[in-house]
Amino acid sequence: MELTEALRTTGAVREFTEEPVDDAVIARLLDVARFAPNGGNRQAWRVVVVNDPAIRRGLRDIYLPGWYEYLAQGAAGLTPWAVVTDRDAEAQAITRAPEFAEAAAAGPGGFAEHLDEAPVILVLLADLERLATVDRDHDGYTMIGGASIYPFAWSILLAAHGEGLGGVMTTMVVRREDEVRRLLHVPETFRVAGLLALGHPVSRPTRLRRAPVEEFATVDTLDGAPLTAGTEPASGDGSAPE
């Protein structure tokens, strides 16, 4: 598959056939993904391949409460757990989470309710002793450590697409990280970065919807002119600094 096509067509897949995925294929995906860019080439990621049915059900049960809180906040018009938000409105919305749990229990369920049935479940961990986090001592929200972990996750999804598989990464289990630690025997020197579910897709999205470049890229300052295809550099020859 041509690279640009892969980048434009690797959408989230949450519904899988029952066809299993061999361990050899999983190993091949990880073998490709390990070349992902990361700080200092310290490769601070660790992966737990979850096969045990009891552990899979445990992860599903950890996932679900946060999922229903997520749905409740979205229904209230909120971005779930946004850093900048109305905390009172958020707390009020979350009180409705049991309603969403009851509605799900009355139906067939979706990805969340059947998470344990995904052909492949990978739990992604970050080794805190290997991450260079320059924002470690900031007072506010930090995200720098993820720059050395999440490209690896994206590479897994790209590699899966190349194998005819589909998948999605979710961070919902981090809402109850201590429970994940106990379930997977993860020490406190590691953080849970997310969970990837993979398999043979029932269907694959063919038209991904994303905002055009001029809606998220500006020139020189955040309130500068939108970047467009016709934008020319203000000065210099455009060459990279040495």
Residue 205 lies in a domain: no
Q: CATH code at 59? A: 3.40.109.10
Q: What is the pLDDT of residues 176-193, one digit of tens each?
A: 999 999 999 999 999 999
pLDDT on residue 241: 39
What mean pLDDT do residues 6-33 have? 95
- Please give the Cα distance from 90 to 82 (Å, whole number): 9
What is the value of pTM for the model shown? 0.90
Residues 68 and 101: beta-carbon distance below 8 Å: yes
Q: What is the pLDDT of residues 42-61, one digit of tens each?
A: 999 999 999 999 999 999 99
Residue 234 lies in a domain: no
Tokens representing 139 are 């007072």
Q: What is the domain count for the chain?
A: 1
Residue 98 lies in a domain: yes
Which range marks the domain in which residue 85 is found? 3-199
Residue 224 lies in a domain: no
Residue 213 lies in a domain: no
Q: Which residue has the higher pLDDT, 7 or 74?
A: 74
**CB atoms < 10 A from the CB of 39, how many?**
17
Of 5-14, 79-88, 154-163, the one with minimum mean pLDDT is 5-14
Residue 228 lies in a domain: no
* Residue found under tokens 């029932």: 202
Residue 30 lies in a domain: yes
Cα angle 188, 192, 198 (rounded to 5 degrees) comes to 150
Residue 174 lies in a domain: yes
Which residues touch 84 (CB under 8 Å, ≥6 apart)?
none
Question: Is the per-residue pLDDT at 230 higher than 80?
Answer: no
